[in-house]
């Protein structure tokens, strides 16, 4: 037996977005992702759906599924506002760094944190009135300057691969 997806009525987009946010709050990112995909099927430029899809994807980083960072970045790349796009891609890199850290991959975590820092710096320049890039920057710096595994990784140049500096 074969089943087909049903199309979400355009009139239900706002309600569906609220449900996707609710499922993220309940730590059910797969449910949120599915809803976002339903919304994007009928409203492919819906900024809230792209943002939520990217965030829900980052919520799954701990599952160790390959390609999730790329999926999150692809969703955030669809955000029309430069600040929103850069800031949220920074969030994706920060969350990837934390996932690497939890998997005892300190060198990869350092590289991801450095990329996140670069993006938060860019986002702060795009919207200097927003505290969010500063708050994210500070959390990354606090981890980099206090976590023993990260400190060890940063002090061993043989082990540390590429440092992002853009």
Residues 53-112: tens digit of each pLDDT: 999 999 999 887 889 999 999 999 999 999 999 999 999 999 999 999 999 999 999 999
pLDDT at 64: 76
CATH code: domain 81-166 is: 1.20.58
Average pLDDT, the chain: 93
pLDDT at 157: 62
Whether residue 160 is predicted with pLDDT greater than 70 in this model: the reply is no
pLDDT at 161: 46
pLDDT at 4: 96
Whether residue 30 is predicted with pLDDT greater than 50 in this model: the reply is yes
For residue 72, how many other CB atoms are within 10 A of its CB?
26
Evaluate if pTM is beyond 0.85: yes
Section 118-128 average pLDDT: 97
pLDDT at 158: 52
For residue 137, how many other CB atoms are within 10 A of its CB?
19
Tokens for 36, please give them: 């976002």
Cα(66)–Cα(109) distance, rounded to whole angstroms?
A: 16
pLDDT at 1: 87
Which CATH number does the domain 9-80 belong to among 1.25.40.10, 1.10.10.10, 3.40.50.300, 3.40.50.10800?
Answer: 1.25.40.10
Whether residue 164 is predicted with pLDDT greater than 90 in this model: the reply is no
Cβ contacts of 69 within 8 Å, gap of 6 or more: 61, 92, 93, 96
Residue owning tokens 């060890």: 152
Section 119-124 average pLDDT: 98
User: Which residue ranges make up each domain of the chain?
Assistant: 9-80, 81-166
Angle value at C-alpha 90, between 27 and 155, nearest 5 degrees: 105
């Amino acid at each position: 037996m074969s089943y087909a997806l049903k199309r979400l009525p355009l009139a239900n987009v706002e309600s569906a977005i609220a449900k996707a946010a609710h499922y993220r709050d309940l730590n059910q990112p797969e449910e949120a992702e599915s809803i976002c995909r339903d919304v994007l099927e009928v409203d492919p430029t819906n900024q809230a759906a792209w943002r939520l899809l990217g965030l829900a994807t980052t919520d799954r980083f701990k599952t160790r599924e390959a390609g999730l960072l790329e999926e999150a970045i692809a969703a955030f790349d669809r955000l029309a506002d430069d600040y929103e796009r850069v800031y949220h891609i920074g969030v994706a890199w920060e969350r990837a760094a934390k996932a690497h850290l939890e998997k005892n991959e300190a060198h990869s975590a350092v590289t991801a944190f450095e990329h996140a820092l670069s993006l938060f710096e860019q986002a702060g320049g795009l919207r200097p009135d927003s505290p969010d890039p500063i708050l994210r920057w500070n959390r990354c710096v606090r981890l980099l300057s206090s976590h023993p595994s990260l400190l060890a990784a940063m002090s061993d140049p043989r082990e540390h691969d590429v440092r992002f500096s853009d």
